[in-house]
Each structure stands twice: as structure tokens, then as C-alpha cells.
Amino acid sequence: MAFLRRYLPSPAVAHVLPLVLFMLISSVLPLVKVENEMLPWWRFAPEHWLYPLQVVVVGGLLIWLWPRFEFRPVRGLWLATVLGVVGIVFWLLPAFAYQKLVAGGVEVPEWASWFGLAAREEGFTPEVFEGQPWAQAHTLVWRFLRMVVIVSLVEEILWRGFLMRYVQADGGDFRKVPFGQHSWAAYGVVTGCFMLAHNPEDWLGAAFFGTLMYVVAIRTKSLAACVWMHAVANLLLGIYVVLTKQWGFW
């Protein structure tokens, strides 16, 4: 590892590369997925081997690039925890309401999906391994590692660690901009990109969550707090999905 660290990319590339690689691996899914449940699981549900591969590959890249990231100071974790809970509850509330409305016989109009009121039935599901508790537990462990650890790191390293500062650097070295420095342009660009990186039915929730994350960034001046907030929210999201079986959130 010491040998590899002699060849670390530039700080800017190091902050961008993990999410780019993460997305490239995700883009393989529709290319290898075959919609035929008569085939072996690794053909019709390749996410169950692709996501663990993604954790290992992107996780290894993060370890290699770790010297390029500055997470300190580690502070504001209580604020990050509270806003992480508030943000994910707001994000999930429309989907929860949708389930209750449909169960009550209410016909939800299609336009309501823009506000998050939509079915979340299609997505990653451990039910592929029905009747195999060990396999279900195994795939859930990898799924939680992906969303709680890898996603939280790659997104916050790029959005808040790099882009939020790059927007304010006027083409210069983004590292000269203190982490958490306020700028309405940075808020608009970063929150907008974070929102557009999600599905349309999640845009409202993502905009609200991105706003709370911006508050954490400028109040704590800590990338660690942003990663922690993201991880708390994603952990709660995963628990909610498992309990409600709204697999579409995955």
C-alpha cells in the first residue's frame, strides 16, 4: 500500500474518482440483468453479486486514496445525527403515506409521485433467496455495507468535500477554500446535483435532505459530520425498507 501511495492522483481526481467508479459499476447492472426468474439468481438478480463487488472495489479505492481526504475536525456528530433522522423521515414520509392510502382503498393520482407518493416495489430484495436464511442475511450485510459505508463516503467526499469548495474556488485549488464556507452558488449547485442524482420521485426528499446536509457542513466545518449524517440516514432507510418491503428505495 505504501508503494501505491507514491502514485496517488491529484486531490481533485481523488475526490471525484470514487463516485465515478461507483456509478460505472452500477451502470453494468442493466447490461447483465436478464428478466427471467427461471434462470439462476446470478443471471436474473445480478445485483446480489455486483453490489458486493462494488463494495470491495470502491472500498479498496477509498483505502488507497485515504491520504487525500481530510475528515477532521470530527465534531458536530449530535447535530448530524438529529438532522440525519429528520431528513430521512421527511424523505420516507410520502412513501409511508402512499402505502397507507392504497391500503385504505384510496386511488393516488400519478402526478403525486413527484412528491414522493409512489409505489416502491421494484428493487433490490433479499426475497430472491426465499427459504435460505443464511443467503438472505449474507446479501443484506453487503447491501448495508454498500449504502451505509460506501455510499456515504463517496457522495460526501465528492459533494461536500470537493464540489461545494470547487464552486467557490473560481478555477483555483479547491483546497484553499475552507471546508464549510457558505456560498449560495455552492448550495444551489451541490444540492441540485445531489437531487438530480436520485430518481424523480425522490427529488423533493433529496432537496430537503441536501439542504440539511448543507447546514451540517457550514455549522460543523467537518466532513466527518457530513459522512456521519449520511450514514445515519442510510442506516435508517435500510431498516425501513426491510420492515416495509418497499424495495424500490434500493
pLDDT of residue 121: 78
pTM above 0.85, yes or no: yes
Indicate the residue type of 54.
Answer: Q
pLDDT of residue 37: 77
Residue appearing with cell numbers 467557490? 168
List the end-to-end C-alpha distance of the chain, in Å, as a whole number: 33
Mean per-residue pLDDT, 75-84: 97
pLDDT in tens, 15-24: 999 999 999 9
pLDDT of residue 215: 97
What does the domain layout of the chain look like in residue ranges?
71-249
Question: What separation in angstroms does the CA of 214 have from each of 43, 61, 179, 222?
Answer: 40, 26, 11, 11
Among 100, 81, 32, 93, smallest CA distance to 229 is for 81
Mean per-residue pLDDT, 8-14: 91
Cell of 157: 467526499
Mean per-residue pLDDT, 132-160: 94
Indicate the residue type of 53.
Answer: L
**What share of the chain in percent tops pLDDT 70?**
98
pLDDT in tens, 180-194: 999 999 999 999 999
Mean per-residue pLDDT, 162-186: 94
Cβ 80 vs Cβ 232: under 8 Å: yes
CA 92 – CA 73 distance, rounded (Å)? 31
> Looking at the chain, how many residues does it have?
250
Contacts of 10 (CB under 8 A, 6+ apart): none
CA 145 – CA 151 distance, rounded (Å)? 9
Cis peptide before 73 (omega within 30 of 0): yes
The pLDDT confidence band at residue 2, using thresholds 50, 70 and 90, is: low
Burial 82-113, CB ≥16 within 10 A → b, else e: ebbeebbeebbebbebbeeeeeeeeeeeeeeb
- Give me the torsion for CA of 93, 96, 102, 103, rounded to 10°: -140
pLDDT in tens, 204-216: 999 999 999 999 9
